[in-house]
């Protein structure tokens, strides 16, 4: 696996791949790899001839007071894990390499960025969209893959690519979970033993929502009330519990095949998200 630190190194690597007539799939990450990241990397290897992973904790998607300075990092372990799943190159730039001057340009995907996570993190998706566009331009990638765990991020990226005619095929992968249902996240490492138990309210809330929908309860407000009670019984602070249309991200009053349950909670100082379809068809 090649380690790339500068834009020039990535560009030369990418040019070499293209000269051979091969394709690239990009996997943007912030590192501290878990099985969810590794699943994305393996899938990327099925999509394209070469897999490029980027490891960059992007300051512009963190607000002051968020966990930028404490975000978990383990570069040596990340390198071993990425190599073990056949990643061809890992791009791990310093902040100055990505932002050599104060950035005057920002991408804002208007309608999708301000609800749900965007309410408490108003600049977050601008930071994400802008850095992803920069990475696409640096790498000249053919495809990129994102996790469905960050469903709003995925929606924002798809919209940006469509709006700006960016020639990158966007792929996604379902949420990879721990054995007890908790969605894998680098931020799970912040949780104490007790908080780790509280965090199960997310996957349990999703299960409860699915059980209610399967039993014919399709009124979103009722389902949200039940999941809210469950989360309150776990003593977490709810940011939002919403039932939304998967495409528009707007609230769905009644559950249908497009209805996604989306949740964000604070457990102590850790913010966790989860989501899933309520009518799963099984
Ligand atoms: P991050 O390093 O947290 O920014 O995530 C990098 C990519 O991995 C994003 O596309 C995430 O959506 C994806 N991802 C994170 N956690 C999971 C998970 N549990 N299952 C699948 N994909 C994930």
What confidence tens digit (pLDDT) does each residue in 5-32 have? 999 999 999 999 999 999 999 999 999 9
Candidate list 5, 34, 37, 114, residue with the active-site label: 37
The pTM of this model reads: 0.97
171 is catalytic: no
User: Could you tell me the distance, in angstroms and rounded to a whole number, from the CA of residue 250 to the centre of ligand 1?
Assistant: 23
Chain segment 222-248, per-residue pLDDT in tens? 999 999 999 999 999 999 999 999 989
Q: Nearest 5 degrees, angle CA 112-CA 203-CA 148?
A: 35
Supply the pLDDT for residue 280.
78
Q: Nearest 5 degrees, angle CA 261-CA 267-CA 271?
A: 60
Closest CA to 156 of 166, 18, 58, 216: 166
CA nearest ligand 1 atom 22, residue: 147
Chain centroid to CA 121: 14
Share of the chain above pLDDT 70, in %: 99
For every residue of 222-253, which 3-state class applies, written as one string? HHHHHHHHHHHHCCCEEEEEEEEECCCCCECC
Chain segment 59-91, per-residue pLDDT in tens? 999 999 999 999 999 999 999 999 999 999 999
CA nearest ligand 1 atom 13, residue: 147
Q: Nearest 5 degrees, angle CA 186-CA 176-CA 114?
A: 65
Supply the pLDDT for residue 236.
96
Supply the pLDDT for residue 282.
56
Supply the pLDDT for residue 189.
96
Chain segment 244-254, per-residue pLDDT in tens? 999 899 999 99
Q: What is the mean pLDDT of residues 163-168?
A: 98
Q: Nearest 5 degrees, angle CA 22-CA 55-CA 133?
A: 65
CA distance 39 to 23: 19
How many CB atoms are closer than 10 A to CB 232? 12
* Ligand 1 touching residue 144 (CB < 6 A): no
Locate 11 and state its tokens.
């560009």
Locate 213 and state its tokens.
């929908």
């Amino acid at each position: 696996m090649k380690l790339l630190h500068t834009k020039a190194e990535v560009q030369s690597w990418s040019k070499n791949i293209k000269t051979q007539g091969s394709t690239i799939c990009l996997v943007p990450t912030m590192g501290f790899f878990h099985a969810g990241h590794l699943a994305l990397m393996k899938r990327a290897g099925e999509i394209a001839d070469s897999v490029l992973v980027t490891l960059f904790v992007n300051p512009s998607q963190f607000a002051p007071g968020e966990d930028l300075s404490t975000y978990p990092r383990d570069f040596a372990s990340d390198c071993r894990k990425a190599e073990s799943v056949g990643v061809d190159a890992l791009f791990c730039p310093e902040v100055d390499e990505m932002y050599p001057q104060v950035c005057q340009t920002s991408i804002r995907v208007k309608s999708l960025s301000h609800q749900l996570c965007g309410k408490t993190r108003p600049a977050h998706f601008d930071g994400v969209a802008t850095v992803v566009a920069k990475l696409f331009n640096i790498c000249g990638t053919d495809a990129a893959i994102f996790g469905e765990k960050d469903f709003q991020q995925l929606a924002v990226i798809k919209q940006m690519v469509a709006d700006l005619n960016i020639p990158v095929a966007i792929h996604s992968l379902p949420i990879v979970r721990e054995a007890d249902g908790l969605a894998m996240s680098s931020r799970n490492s912040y949780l104490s033993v007790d908080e780790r138990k509280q965090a199960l309210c997310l996957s349990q809330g999703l299960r409860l929502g699915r059980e209610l929908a399967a039993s014919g309860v399709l009124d979103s407000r009722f389902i949200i009330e039940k999941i809210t009670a469950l989360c309150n019984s776990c003593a977490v602070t709810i940011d939002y519990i919403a039932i939304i249309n998967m495409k528009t991200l707007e609230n769905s009053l009644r559950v249908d095949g497009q209805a996604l349950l989306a949740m964000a909670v604070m457990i102590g100082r850790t913010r966790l998200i989860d989501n899933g379809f309520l009518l799963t068809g099984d």
